[in-house]
Amino acid sequence: MVKRRKGERYTPPKIKQAKLVTADYWTLHAVARFVDPSDDVAALAQRMAVTCRKNNGLAVAAPQVGHDIRLVVLADGRAILNPSVEPDMTHGTSLEREGCLSYPNRWWLVERRIAVDVTGIDAFTGQPIGFSTYRGDYESTIDARMWQHEVDHLDGLVLVDRYEEVT
């Protein structure tokens, strides 16, 4: 037990960020393993959220921090195990510039679905979740793009291998 002096305020320990892997690290090019919902990934998810925020990302997939498991963590701290995306075919596609935390300061022109349906398991509660990214605004197209990008990471697919780089 840590002793504190009288009047000393409690300061929670800082959560360290997970280290981003880049370029040819093997987890970026491998299909990630499904995670048993009973596995405790909370500490990893918290570290990934810190990494995401410190690097100005929207989300980060476990392969981007060297873990070959199907886990995606959003900058707001939400964590989804075994996520899958299904395209919402009632909406079209958009061609936009896209970056990646594992390839900093590089950009690719990528065509993605405007809306997707996401399913998975909440990494903290173990409860199944499902939702559509479509809300009828531009931000929802960014959410759809982000989910497609992160699930690509779980499938071992990276921008550098698939699309034309732009400046």
Q: Does some domain include residue 19? A: no
pLDDT value for 162: 85
The reported pLDDT for the residue numbered 119 is 98
- Is residue 4 over pLDDT 60? no
In a domain, 85, yes or no: yes
pLDDT value of position 13: 60
Q: What would the DSSP string read from start to end of the chain?
A: -----TTPPP-PPPPPPPPPP-TT-GGGGSPPBP--TTS--HHHHHHHHHHHHHTT-SEEEGGGGT--B-EEEETTS-EEEEEEEEE-TTS-EEEEEEEETTEEEEEEEEEEES-EEEEEEETTT--EEEEE---SSHHHHHHHHHHHHHHHHHTT--HHHHS-EE-
pLDDT, mean of residues 20-28: 92
Domain residue limits at 128: 26-166
Selected catalytic residue, list 8, 150, 164, 165 = 150
Task: Look at the chain and report how many structural domains it folds into.
Answer: 1
In a domain, 61, yes or no: yes
Residue 139 is among the residues annotated as catalytic for this protein: no
The answer as to whether 57 is a domain residue is yes
21 located within any domain: no
In a domain, 10, yes or no: no
- Mean of the per-residue pLDDT values of the chain: 91
Does the structure show a pLDDT above 90 at 152? yes
CATH code of 105's domain: 3.90.45.10
Is residue 12 over pLDDT 70?
A: no
Query: For residue 105, is pLDDT > 80?
Result: yes
Residue-level pLDDT at 67: 95
| pLDDT interval class at 140 (50, 70, 90) | confident
**pLDDT score of 5:** 66
| pLDDT tens profile 25-78 | 999 999 999 999 888 899 999 999 999 999 999 999 999 999 999 999 999 999
Judge whether residue 93 has pLDDT over 90.
yes
Least confident piece of the model among 21-25, 62-66, 86-90, 104-108? 21-25
Q: What is the pLDDT of residue 10?
A: 53
Give the model's pLDDT for residue 17.
86
